[in-house]
Amino acid sequence: MLTTGPLNAAGTVRAATLYVNCGGKIVLPSIGAALKALQYSEGHGPSTINVSGTCNENVVIQSLDRLTLNAASGESINDPSSGNLDVIDIADSRDVSVNNFTINNGGAYGISCLDRSLCRLNGNSVRGANTSGVGVFLSQTDVIGGILQNNTAGLSVYNGSEAKALG
């Protein structure tokens, strides 16, 4: 017979709110720096990253759940890879919201939602992606409001994925 000791109660899961000033000289000068801080933090509750400034980076959100990225007044994320990478990749993440960004250029996609992720895209403007403004691969995505403009295609959905374009 197998016996075990008392079960440890789960610790308190706290929400985190981080502030990014892209291009600034503060502790979190990029979205990537904020994502790294969240991945190495002990608490894994819902997290929010509030962004100001113009970000020149390719953002990879991988294996993070309950994350919200907010742009203050339509801040932008620009592709610095000369069209070789997507601007925002969301992979293996549940309940990620990206709100009110202007996303410029992109190798293939402005925003890609893949690997069984649930993505909520609210009020974003995605412009100039080589393949599609939003690409959805084996995932579920809601696109609410916003603009998909000057992309080869607006919204591309592949391999049994589900996408809704609302309002």
4-8, 28-32, 143-147: least confident range: 4-8
User: How is residue 49 written in tokens?
Assistant: 């990253």
Residue 5: pLDDT band with limits 50, 70, 90: very low
Residue 14: pLDDT band with limits 50, 70, 90: low
pLDDT beyond 50 at 10: no
DSSP string, 67-90: EEEEETTS-EEE--STTSS-SEEE
Segment 8-29 mean pLDDT: 75
Work out how many domains the chain is built from and give that number.
Answer: 1
Residue 9: pLDDT band with limits 50, 70, 90: very low
pLDDT at 27: 77
Per the document, the length of the chain is 167
Mean of the per-residue pLDDT values of the chain: 89
pTM, entire model: 0.89
| 110 inside domain | yes
**pLDDT tens digit string along 92-126?**
999 999 999 999 998 889 999 999 999 999 999 99
| 8 inside domain | no
Structural domain boundaries enclosing 92: 16-166
Residue 6: pLDDT band with limits 50, 70, 90: very low
- Which residues, in sequence order, are CB contacts of 114 under 8 Å at separation 6+? 89, 90, 91, 135, 136, 137, 138, 139
pLDDT at 45: 80
pLDDT at 100: 97
* CATH at residue 50: 2.160.20.10
| 6 inside domain | no
Residue 51: pLDDT band with limits 50, 70, 90: very high
| 69 inside domain | yes
pLDDT at 43: 64
| 82 inside domain | yes
| 10 inside domain | no
| 9 inside domain | no
- Which residues, in sequence order, are CB contacts of 43 under 8 Å at separation 6+? 11, 12, 13, 14, 15, 16
37: left (phi over 0), alpha (psi -120 to 50) or beta: alpha
